[in-house]
Amino acid sequence: MLKLISDRYIKPLLFLTFAAKFNNMSKQTFTMIKPDATGKGHTGAILDQIVKAGFSIKAMKWIKLTEEQAGLFYDIHRARPFFQELVDFMISGPIVAAVLEKDNAVADFRTLIGATNPAQADEGTIRKIFAASIGENAIHGSDSDENAIIEADFFFSKLERF
Ligand code: GDP
């Protein structure tokens, strides 16, 4: 009898679990307010812009990365000429890491922060307003749903998300 119940319900349950996770994926992104912006006292203004754009904060922490952690986070750029400069910058001061939620979160957040190089960022974007250069560009935003999950998991346990 028990076996019958589990056979009958386990597949739909697994499907629903997967569907819920997939559905949540496209609604969440990950961000870091970088050391240039925290150091200049822009944290509050940037968070205000994020919340006013319709994102809700699902997890957040104020931390200083180690060299190893920064290198691991940006591992994909390890072969790039600016890698060490990027790591040195990311460990130069505290950051604010956060998981954000909104429909179409990844794409909408990339629009909100603007191009990697602030000189090419649209008016009104966070990087246009707060960033000084392509390296010291104030804020990070995940570039895909898959990376949003990987990056959020890098910083936050399940107990730290609400
Ligand atoms: P993002 O997705 O817009 O953050 O851009 P990328 O994934 O291409 O790069 C990751 C981060 O590396 C950027 O946000 C910058 O902080 C840094 N970066 C990218 N290109 C350069 C560069 O040419 N010089 C330096 N110093 N840093 C760079």
Alpha-carbon span 88 to 8, nearest angstrom: 55
User: Apex CA 122: angle with CA 116 and CA 125, to 5°?
Assistant: 75
Q: Which residues pair with 74 in a beta bridge?
A: none
Q: Which of 143, 147, 32 is nearest to 86 (CA)?
A: 32
Q: Catalytic residues, which ones?
A: 140
Find all residues with CB under 8 Å of 155, minimum gap 6, and list them: 30, 59, 61, 63, 97
145 close to 106: Cβ distance less than 8 angstroms: yes
Which of the residues in the chain have pLDDT under 50?
Answer: 16
pLDDT at 26: 82
pLDDT at 8: 63
Query: 63 C-alpha to center of ligand 1: Å?
Result: 20
Distance 24 CA to ligand 1 centre (A): 27
Q: Is there a contact between 91 and 71 (Cβ–Cβ < 8 Å)? A: no
Predicted local distance difference test score (pLDDT) of residue 55: 98
Domains located in the chain, CATH noted: 27-160 (3.30.70.141)
Task: Please identify, by atom number, the ligand 1 atom nearest to the C-alpha of residue 76.
Answer: 7
Per DSSP, the residues of 100-111 read EE-TTHHHHHHH
Bridge partners, residue 19, by sequence: none
Residues whose beta carbon lies within 6 Å of some atom of ligand 1: 77, 82, 85-86, 116, 134-135, 137, 140, 143
